[in-house]
């Protein structure tokens, strides 16, 4: 019973059975195929974790984000600045970077994107770690203070999308909900 007793001295010379050889071969091929799939997806497919990120500080990021919000806040029918639940609604023009602030416990601003049009969004946290969880598209990113994460998002359908926080960030973590509006 060599699970508990020492094996024969020559255990490493015992030939491997045909059955095991076949299985190991098949399993190895599957493992390599999965690796190839990941590499191939990175080269040719359209959903990959964003690669671009920069060092920043909460202060510096907040300054740039507020500047962006001031410049690009949407207007309502009467021409006054548009808010939803007190959070500014902001358009991301083509060719310009949008900003999204994560802080305990809110996502700001509400971003307006266009269906089919890529938008570069810079995200960072002003305090704790947060989880960017875009629903129901179900895309999730880790947001850290001190790091600016640049994601290029291309919405494939119009409508309203929520941003939940899915990294625990304190007592009102479950109330930290933001919004992205996608227009046709």
Partner 1 sequence: MNARVCTVTGLQVENHAANLIKLHAVSAVVFLLLGALAALGIALTRWEAVHLLSPDWYYRLVSFHGVNMLVFWIVFFESAGIVFASTVILNSRQAFAPLAYLAWFLMLAGALMADWVMLFKPFDQATIMFTAYPPLKSHPAFYLGVILFAVGALVNCILFFLNVFNARREGTHTGPVPLFTYAIGAAATIGVYALLHGALAFIPAFLWSMGWIKDIDPAAYRLTFWGFGHPAQQINLCAMVGVWYALSTFTVGALPVNEKVCRTAFVLYVLFINLGSVHHLLVDPGLGAGFKIFNTSYAMYLAVLASMIHALSIPASVEVAQRKRGYTKGLFEWLKQAPWGNPCFAALALSLVIFGFLGGVSGVIIGTAQVNLQAHNTLRIPGHFHTTVVGGTTLAFMGFTYYVIPLIFRKEWWSPKWAKVQPWLFAAGIVVMALAMSALGMLGYSRRHYDMSLEGAPFQSDQFGGVALLFQALVGLGGTAAVASVVMFALNAVATLLLGKAVETVPSFPPVQLPTPEPEGAPEQPRPKFAAPGVFALAIAFLVFFVVMYAANWLSLAKTWEIK
Question: In whole angstroms, how close is the CB of 148 to partner 1 at the nearest point?
Answer: 7
- Binders of partner 1 among 118-177, rule CB under 8 A? 118, 127-129, 131, 133-149, 151-156, 160, 162, 164-177
3-state secondary structure of 5: coil
Question: In whole angstroms, how close is the CB of 64 to partner 1 at the nearest point?
Answer: 16
- Binders of partner 1 among 81-120, rule CB under 8 A? 84-87, 106, 118
Q: Which is nearer to partner 1, 45 or 77 (CB)?
A: 45
Backbone angles phi, psi at 46, to 5 degrees: -105, 5
Alpha-carbon distance 91 to 163, whole Å? Answer: 17
Backbone angles phi, psi at 176, to 5 degrees: -85, 95
Q: Which is nearer to partner 1, 26 or 71 (CB)?
A: 26
> CA angle 84-108-101, nearest 5°?
175
Q: Which is nearer to partner 1, 4 or 77 (CB)?
A: 4
Read off the tokens for 1.
């019973």
Neighbours of 143 (CB within 10 A): 22
Which residue from 6, 59, 80, 94 is in contact with partner 1, where contact means CB under 8 A?
A: 6
Note whether 150 and 81 are within 8 A (CB).
no
Should residue 38 be labelled a site residue for partner 1 when binding is judged by CB under 8 A? yes
**Taking contact as CB under 8 A, which single stretch among the options 48-56, 59-67, 71-79, 88-96 is the one that binds partner 1?**
48-56
Binding mask 51-80 for partner 1 (x = CB under 8 A): x-x---------------------------
Sheet hosting strand 177-183, strand order edge to edge: 83-84, 87-91, 110-114, 177-183, 159-165, 130-135, 139-143
Question: In whole angstroms, how close is the CB of 31 to partner 1 at the nearest point?
Answer: 3
**At which residue do the structure tokens 């129901």 appear?**
136
């Amino acid at each position: 019973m060599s699970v508990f007793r020492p094996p024969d001295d020559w255990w490493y010379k015992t030939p491997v059975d045909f059955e095991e050889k076949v299985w190991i071969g098949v399993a190895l091929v599957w493992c390599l195929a999965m690796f190839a799939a990941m590499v191939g997806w990175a080269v040719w497919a359209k959903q990959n974790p964003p690669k671009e990120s920069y060092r920043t500080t909460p202060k510096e990021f907040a300054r740039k984000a507020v500047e962006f919000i001031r410049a690009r806040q949407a207007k309502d029918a009467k021409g006054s600045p548009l808010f939803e639940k007190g959070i500014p609604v902001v358009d991301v023009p083509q060719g310009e970077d949008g900003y999204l602030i994560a802080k305990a416990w809110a996502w700001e601003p509400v971003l307006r994107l266009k269906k089919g049009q890529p938008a570069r969004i810079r995200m960072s946290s002003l305090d704790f770690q947060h989880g960017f969880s875009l629903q129901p598209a179900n895309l999730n990113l880790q947001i850290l203070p001190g790091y600016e994460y640049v994601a290029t998002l291309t919405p494939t359908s119009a409508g309203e999308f929520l941003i939940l926080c899915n990294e625990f960030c304190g007592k009102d973590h479950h109330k930290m909900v933001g919004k992205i509006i996608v227009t046709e």
